[in-house]
Amino acid sequence: MINLFRLALIAIVTAILGTLGILSCLVIPSGDGVIVLARLWARLLLGLCRVRVVVQGAEKIRPPGPYVFLSNHQSQFDIPAAVLAIPVQFRILAKKELFHIPIFGWVLRLSGFVGIERSNREKAIRSLDEAARRIRRGRSLLIYAEGTRSPDGSLLPFKKGGFILAIQAGVPVIPLTILGSRKVLPKGSLRIHPGTIRVVVGDPIDPRQYRVEEKEALMKRVRAVMAEALEAGRC
C-alpha cells in the first residue's frame, strides 16, 4: 500500500514539474530551466522514497564544462541520482521511445535531449553527429555506456556509439559509477526500497589521445574505472 502511494505521488510530481518544464522552455528556449526543475524533481522523488544520494569525487567536475559523462546503468533511479551528482548543465542521450511519453517526452524534446534510434543505424549516426555538435558548442552530455539497465548489477557490454561520440566531441570524458540503485529499484520491478545510492566520479580522461579507430581502447579504460569502483563498493 505504501509503495502504491509513493508511485502515485511520483506520477503527480513528475506531471506537475514536467508541465512547468514545458512552460520554462517557452521562456528559456535553450532548455536550461529544465535542469533546475529536474534537480527539484530529483530531490522530491528521492525524499518521497527515502533514498539518499552520496557523491564521491564531485570536485572533479569543474563548471561550466562541457563534458561527456559515461555511466553504468542499474535502475531508473540512476537518473535522479545523476541529476543531483552533475553540477553543470547537461542533457542525456536517450532512446527515442522515451520521447513519445506524454509530458515527460515533450520536456526531453523541447529542452534539447538527444534521442537515438538504435534499430536504425543511419538515423543513429545522424543523432550522434548532432550530439557531437551540441557538445562542441558547450553542452555536456550523459551517456549510459551499456545502453540498458543491468539486471544483476554487473557491467554489460558497452555500446560503441557513445565512445565514438566522445572522441569526435574532443571534450573531457568523466566516468560515473552508480552503486546501490539496483537495490532501490531493480530492473523489471515497481517495488521501491529505501536506501543509499552512491555516485563515484572518476578522473577526467582526454579523448583527444584516441582516434575513432581506437575507440575500444577508450572503452577498456572507462570500463576498468567502473569495474574498480563497483568492486570497491562490494568490499
Cell triple for 115: 534521442
Q: What is the pLDDT of residues 11-70, one digit of tens each?
A: 999 999 989 999 998 888 888 889 999 999 999 999 999 999 999 999 999 988 899 999
Range scoring the smallest mean pLDDT among 5-9, 68-72, 108-112, 145-149: 108-112
Only one residue has cell 535542469, namely 35
183 burial (CB, 10 Å; 0-12 / 13-18 / 19+) is middle
State the pLDDT confidence band at 235, using cuts at 50, 70 and 90. low
Nearest partner of 140 among 166, 163, 118, judged by Cα: 166
Judge if pTM exceeds 0.75.
Answer: yes
Q: Quick one: pLDDT band at residue 99, thresholds 50, 70, 90?
A: confident
Average pLDDT over residues 121-140: 78
Query: Hey, what amino acid is at 182?
Result: R
pLDDT of residue 129 exceeding 80, the answer is no
* DSSP helix/strand/coil, 158: coil
Q: Which of 76-85, 123-132, 135-144, 148-157 is predicted with the least confidence, judged by mean pLDDT? A: 123-132
Task: Please give the full DSSP string across 192-229, using - where no structure is assigned.
Answer: ---EEEEEEEPPPB-GGGS-GGGHHHHHHHHHHHHHHH
The residue ranges of every structural domain in the chain are 2-234
Mean pLDDT, residues 134-153: 87
**CA nearest neighbour of 200 among 169, 159, 231, 154:** 231
pLDDT on residue 119: 66
40's CB contacts (< 8 A; 6+ apart) are: 17
Backbone angles phi, psi at 55, to 5 degrees: -110, 125
pLDDT at residue 118 is higher than 90: no
Mean pLDDT over each residue of the chain, to the nearest integer: 89
Report how far residue 223's alpha carbon sits from residue 206's, in angstroms, rounded to the nearest whole number: 15
Strand-pair category, 140-144 with 114-116: unpaired
Residue 152, judged by CB atoms within 10 A of its CB (0-12, 13-18, 19+), counts as: exposed
The SS3 of residue 107 is: helix
3-state secondary structure of 156: coil
Q: Which residue carries 559523462 as its cell? A: 69
Cα separation, 33 vs 110, in Å, equals 11
Residue-wise pLDDT for 188-197, tens only, equals: 888 999 999 9
Domain 2-234 coded CATH 3.40.47.10? no
* Percent of the chain clearing pLDDT 70 (strictly above): 97
**pLDDT (mean) for 74-98:** 90
